[in-house]
Structure formats: C-alpha cells, structure tokens
Amino acid sequence: MFSGKSIARLEDARFLTGRGRYVADMIPADALHAVVLRSPHAHATLGEINAEAARAMSGVVGVFTSAELAADDLAPLPCTAEVASVAPMVVPPRPVLATDRVRHLGEAVALIIASSAAAARDAAEAIEVLYDPLPAVIDGASALGAEAPQIWPQAPGNEAFRFLKGDRAATDAAFAQADHVISLDLFNNRVHAVPIEPRAALAHFDGGRFELIFTGMGVHGIRRQLATVFRLPDDAFHLICPDVGGGFGAKNFLFPEYVLALWAARRLQRSIAWQAEPSEEFAAAVHGRDLRARARLALADDGRFLGLEISSIADMGAYLSAVGPHCPTNAFSTAMGGVYAIPAMHLEVRGAFTNSLPVDAYRGAGKPEANYIIERLVDAAARSLGRDAAALLAMNMLQNAPHRTAMGMAVDGGRFAANLSVLEKVSDAAGFSARREQAAQRGMLLGRGMACFLETARGAPGEWATVSVDASGQARAAIGTQSNGQGHETSYAQIVADRLGLTPAEVRIQQADTDLLPNGNGHGGARSLHLGGGALVLALDALMEKARIIAAHLLQADPTELIFADGRFALPEGERFVTLAEIARAAEDTASLPEGMTPGLSASGHNTSDLATFPNGCQAAEVEIDPETGHARLTRYVAVDDYGRLVNPRLTQGQVQGGLVQGIGQAMLEDIIYDRESGQLLTGSLMDYALPRADDVPAIEVILEGTPTTANPLGVKGSGQAGAIAAPQTVMNAIADALALRGATAPDMPATPEKIWRALQNAASPGKELTP
C-alpha cells in the first residue's frame, strides 16, 4: 500500500532538474508579443488616445484600443457569482479595454503587439492618452458614505449588493437574554497572493479554433467564460495549463489579457505571447480579503455562547470579479461561528464599489474572514470575563456529529475538544508563565494566543476523471482538478497504484487540458482529493469491473470467482491468472473481448457530490514584543489539525505549513495600501509589500490528528487552505495577550511595529491618542 505513506513527490525530479514546463518555456521564436498600456489614474474620464507614433516604431505590428474591439462585439467579462441580494446585485459591464472611463489604477487601456516584448514596451511609452482625473474613493466604508464619489450610475451609493442570512429574530432574542455581550470592530486587510510565477498566456488561432496556454488553476470554467465573451460555443476553445508556479486563488479567473491575446491571435493570424511584469500583478491582477466587520457575541453567565451577529462591508473594487461577491457572502456564511455550537446567528454584508483593483478569492475565500471574527471575539470574551480561554473554547465546541449549524451546514464530525486537549500539552501551556517571566526579565512582553478553525472545503461541486491501462501495464489518469504545486502527481498516483497493483512511478497523471475530459472544476476550495479523488475512485471501480469481465472471458471463468492481487486476476487455486498488462493488450483486440464490449482498458468517473468536508484544528502561537520599538517576533507556533485520512502525510504537512506562513504574513506583514486621496498604489512591489521571510517564522510544529470523513470514499478532508484560515487569529490573539500586559489593545492586521508602538503609547497616555 502506498496511500498513507510519505513518499517523495514524483514531480520534484522534473522541477529540480529544470525540466518543468511553464508558459514562458513554450513561446515559439516567431510569436508576437503583447504589452498592455494601463491607466495611471484610479478614476478618470478617458479621452483621445494618440498611438500614431507608437504604430510607426520599429517592430510594432499593431496598437489597438476599445474602438477596434467594438467591431467584434466582445461581451464584458462575466461575474459568475450568484448572491441573493436584498435588491438585485449590480454587475456593471467590465470591458476588456477601457471605453469612456477608467475606474482603477492599472486598468487596461490599449494593447500593443510587436515582434518583441521590449519593442512593445517602448511603443507603450510613446502612446499619448488624454485623461481627465475624477475624485476617487478606495475604502469600502467611505465608498458607502453619502459624500463619496459615484463610481457607477447603476449602483447608487456605490452599493453592489446587500446580503442577509440567518435568523434575525432568534439572534435578537439571544442578545436580549444575554448576560454578557462582546463587541469588536475588525478589519481583514487587503492582500495580494504573489505567486512566484506571474500570469502569462500564449494564444493561437488555427482552423477556426482558439488555443490558449496559460497560467491558471482550472481550464473548463475559463473556457466557458471565454465562450461568453466571444459569443462562441465552448468547443471553439482549447485551453491548456502546463506547470504553474503557484496560484493561491489568484489564477482562478478570466483576465482581460487572456481575451486580448486570443483576439489578437485571430486578427493577426499569429501566435501571441503575453507575460505580466511583477508590478502588473500588484496593480492589475486581483486582490484578496478586504472585509471590515462589526461583530457581537452574546454569552450566558456560565460562558455558553448564545448568539453571533456580524455586519460587514466587503470592498469589491471597481468591478465584480468572477466569484468575488461569493467570498464574503455565501462562502463566509458556511464557516460562520467556526467550531462552536452557537444556536442563533445573523449576517449582513454590503458590497461596496471602490476605485481599486477587484477583489476575489484568495486562499480560503471567505472562510478565513469568518473564522478570524469568531476567534477574536472568543479571545476577547475570555479576557473580558476573566475566564480560562481553553476552558471557554472547550465548553462551546461542537460535541455531537453530525451537527447542523445555525447557518445550515451539516458538520459530519471532527476532533474538536480532543485536539484542543492535545494542543495544550504539546504547546506546553503549563510552562508559559515561566517563559513570560523570562521575557519580562529581558524587558519584553510575551503573549500566548490560541485559536481554532473550521473550514468548509469543497469549492465547485462535482468532478470528472478517466483512467486507462496500456499494453505495458502502466496507467494514465486524467482528472479535472489541477495542481499549482500541491503534489497531485504524487497523491493521485498513490491512489491509482494501490488499486491497480502498480507503483506510483508507473502511473501518469494528466490535468488541465479541455480536450482530455468533457468537464472539470479545477483547483480551488481545497477540493482536489475530496472531489477529484472521489471521481478517480469511481473511474477505477469502473475500470476494474471491465478488467474483471475481460479476465474472466480470457480465463473462461466466472467473474465472481476471480481474485485481484499484485496486479493480476487469478482463480482461487492461483495457478491460472492474467495480468493487468495482458488484459490491456487483449482489450485492444475486439476478437479477444466479450461481445459488445468497447475496445481499450479505460473507464470514466463522474463524481456528482456536492458535499463539503470540514477540516478543523486548534493552534497556539507565542509572540514577543519589544515595547520600546513595537517590534513583534513570533517565537513559537503549534498546530494540531484534523484532515481526515491522509494519503501522503508529508504533502499534508507541507500544505499546512505553507498556508500558515501566508496567514502569519497577513497578520504581521502584508498589506495592500492605496493612497486615500489619489488612489495610487503605495505597496506595488516587493520593495514595499512585505512578504514573510525565513527569519520571520519559527520552526512550525504541525501535529496531524484526524478522523475520516464520510463525505468521500477516501475519508480525506481538504488541507490546502487551512493554514491561511487558522493563522491570522492565532497570531493576533497572541499579540493581544502581550499588549494586554500594558493595558493596550491589538491593532488591525497587519500588526506592524508602528501600529503596536502606537497602541502601547496610547495605552500609556490615555486621551493623547497617536494616529498615523
């Protein structure tokens, strides 16, 4: 058996020896290169575009604006999210190139095609554009204010939607009978995914069919959106993703540049390559999070949670990105309340248009924001009421499974209180007071934070897979999910190898090609092993049933008598058998098959499940603060998590650790900041946007203690997003604990040295608050 073992990643040999193939490795020598001219303004009327000088420059093949695109009647980029808004959700048209107005810094204004990227960039600098700047608003709360500039005429007050969910009356009643109410205003800061490989695309048009090779996280969904934009059937597009250098949600969407590359390939009958510059990724790709919430938790005198109320403002940016509205509404609500049994909950979300880059899914997509709010409230409740935090968590945790939350989610189980108990031991909670005293002797403030998380992992429901065995006995599996570095080529191969009696090295995994499968939902929502693995099991079941029938035909035996082991079907006495390779060879010959059977040893599986899995865990952090400078240092981090049955524990560890570092980065370092007056991006490169580095993070301890789920045949729960869901509140609770030693309250994320220092100064001098 290979499943359950930490075998080394099969794909790493390719990556470590420079044999990975990314879009940039596939650009033919005769391809033309695209560059996009972008708006330098956050909000402006778009006037004359003079490109005559640019068109005359050496190497330039063409310069195109929205006027040229209009002739081909391209539809706006679609927003595919469905949100039950009080009034109909406002979805303004998002053009591929700006028409009469630009609404955020970096919006695409013109397309330049040249013989080289350098020539195209030079030509872009020669284009003269007349802009008439308009007032900008870049904060969601300000955008909903009465005096804010109007961004879209069809969205009065800049409101995109107003979403309500939960039982308002029951929640009001819970607060009416509460002995204690804890209230917090919290901000989940805007961040950028910063994948190591920027977006890129290679477009071809041949024989009336488009081909797009791009850096994505799924192909079939993007194909459907392209078909909408070009007003063509799906099969007019062939989409492929080669190796992809990270995604974290940000590569899951259709971008204007992909449409432009395809449009230019058709118009010019040439291959078109486009590669984003890192600065373009910050200004013109997509951002994540940006949710401002007012939250209240109702408690009885004995500490029981009675009700939870959240009213939030979600900054959507200038346009509604593909699934952007889904994240703070539908997705958020599935994880609202976290691991706690809260009988009454109510959620209100107002989506706001601002003059900023659109916001969409980023690792966790709504679930991090929901978990952050409840865990910060619980931590504040323990501190305010003088209760032991671990005891308060334990008494309110989900106990019986399945449990249906007040938001309607049926949680099928988890090691909630059990993992909390393990965490207390392995993180040495008993020894914390001694460590705090040691830090105090050095003039430092040491805080301990503890928090839990509950993810609702699924993403899009349903998945597709095919499996085949060739004449050599090796297997090939094509699957509708997609790896962006998670190790799918290894974990899927382990599953196939176990079922077929092979080694993982004898299994080839294929993905991200619309010609391989009729459909597929790609990556996103920690769904791959849950739904993709389920589809793979169905395909394997069908393949093995076909193989059994062929084996019985060849052996002239009853199929029910055959035993499969070690890659062969044998009769009980063991002397007569046929190997899988022999069956595959026979399957190519119609004469060797039972009457009416389709040739080839292959089968498909369509997993129609819409069930979610519920990864969960309890985590602890210790943070040391220098009160003189505000510098905070994360000194310890321990996670005790439940991801069900593990196919490859080492890969799970890596996924969780990577997510934790991203969550730590959001809590302490990362922040997308726009100038409030001009809308200019102030953190538009890695010179200003602080990613966590090795010396920012201690050795992270991850203990995997899980219970299998019944939501899929493998018993697995998604692990890809969990770390980013859990870490922000764990770190911020530790910072809050340290600051409480001086009577200070924790700032909003990221808790930078400046913010921490100001919080300490304000606590030391009440009435003389220091503001940035």
β-pair type (507-511, 475-479): parallel
Closest by CA position to 500, among listed 542, 552, 530: 542
Please state, in angstroms and rounded to a whole number, the distance separating the CA atoms of residues 598 and 589: 10
Please state, in angstroms and rounded to a whole number, the distance separating the CA atoms of residues 167 and 59: 63
Please state, in angstroms and rounded to a whole number, the distance separating the CA atoms of residues 497 and 469: 11
Please state, in angstroms and rounded to a whole number, the distance separating the CA atoms of residues 81 and 727: 27
What is the arithmetic mean of pLDDT over 318-330?
97
CB distance 117 to 356 below 8 Å: no
CB distance 634 to 623 below 8 Å: yes
Please state, in angstroms and rounded to a whole number, the distance separating the CA atoms of residues 364 and 327: 9
At 769 the pLDDT is: 65
Q: Model confidence at 772, in pLDDT bands (50, 70, 90)?
A: low
User: Could you report how far apart the first and last alpha carbons of the chain are, in Å?
Assistant: 59
What is the arithmetic mean of pLDDT over 273-302?
97
Omega prior to 92 cis, within 30 of 0: no
User: Cα 511 to chain center, whole Å?
Assistant: 19
Closest by CA position to 248, among listed 280, 296, 216, 210: 216
Neighbour-count burial for 83-98, b at 16+ CB within 10 Å, e otherwise: bebeeebbbbebbbbb
What is the arithmetic mean of pLDDT over 397-407?
90
β-pair type (563-565, 507-511): unpaired
Please state, in angstroms and rounded to a whole number, the distance separating the CA atoms of residues 107 and 101: 10
3-state secondary structure 29-63: CCCEEEEEEECCCCCEEEEEEECHHHHCCCCEEEE
Please state, in angstroms and rounded to a whole number, the distance separating the CA atoms of residues 278 and 194: 9
Q: Given a cut of 70, is residue 768 above it in pLDDT?
A: no
What is the arithmetic mean of pLDDT over 405-428?
95
Q: Model confidence at 684, in pLDDT bands (50, 70, 90)?
A: very high
Please state, in angstroms and rounded to a whole number, the distance separating the CA atoms of residues 219 and 247: 14
At 565 the pLDDT is: 94
Q: Model confidence at 771, in pLDDT bands (50, 70, 90)?
A: low
Decide: residue 434, CB within 10 A, 0-12 exposed, 13-18 middle, 19+ buried: exposed
At 402 the pLDDT is: 87
Instruction: Give me the count of residues in the chain.
Output: 772
Q: Sheet of 209-214: strands edge to edge?
A: 60-64, 108-114, 32-38, 272-275, 200-206, 209-214, 237-240
Residue 456 three-state SS = coil
At 401 the pLDDT is: 76
Q: Given a cut of 70, is residue 101 above it in pLDDT?
A: yes
Q: In the 8-state DSSP scheme, what is residue 146?
A: T
User: Cα 327 to chain center, whole Å?
Assistant: 10
What is the arithmetic mean of pLDDT over 309-328?
98
CB distance 374 to 347 below 8 Å: no
At 108 the pLDDT is: 98
Closest by CA position to 523, among listed 216, 251, 218, 250: 218
Q: What is the pLDDT of residues 578-593, one digit of tens each?
A: 999 999 999 999 988 9
Please state, in angstroms and rounded to a whole number, the distance separating the CA atoms of residues 244 and 576: 47
What is the arithmetic mean of pLDDT over 233-257?
96
Angle between helices 389-396 and 416-426 (to 10 degrees): 160
CB distance 282 to 685 below 8 Å: yes
Counting residues of the chain whose pLDDT is more than 70, the rounded percentage is: 99
What ranges make up the beta strands (E) of 525-668? Answer: 563-565, 568-570, 577-579, 602-607, 616-625, 632-642
Q: Model confidence at 173, in pLDDT bands (50, 70, 90)?
A: very high
Please state, in angstroms and rounded to a whole number, the distance separating the CA atoms of residues 477 and 497: 11
Q: What is the largest CA-CA distance in the chain?
A: 92
Q: Model confidence at 770, in pLDDT bands (50, 70, 90)?
A: low
Count of beta carbons in the 10 Å neighbourhood of residue 388: 11
Q: Which two tokens stand for residue 207?
A: 């024989």
Q: Which two tokens stand for residue 16?
A: 């470590």
Neighbour-count burial for 581-611, b at 16+ CB within 10 Å, e otherwise: bbbbbbbeeeebbeeeeeeebbbbbbbebeb
Q: Given a cut of 90, is residue 364 above it in pLDDT?
A: yes
Closest by CA position to 290, among listed 310, 326, 316: 316
**AA identity, residue 379:** D
What ranges make up the beta strands (E) of 278-376? Answer: 291-299, 305-317, 344-353
Mean pLDDT for all residues in the chain: 96
Q: In the 8-state DSSP scheme, what is residue 116?
A: S
**AA identity, residue 317:** G
Q: What is the pLDDT of residues 442-489, one digit of tens each?
A: 999 999 999 999 999 998 999 999 999 999 999 999 999 999 889 999
Q: Model confidence at 765, in pLDDT bands (50, 70, 90)?
A: confident
Per the listing, tokens 């921490």 go with 756
Q: Which two tokens stand for residue 379?
A: 């931590």
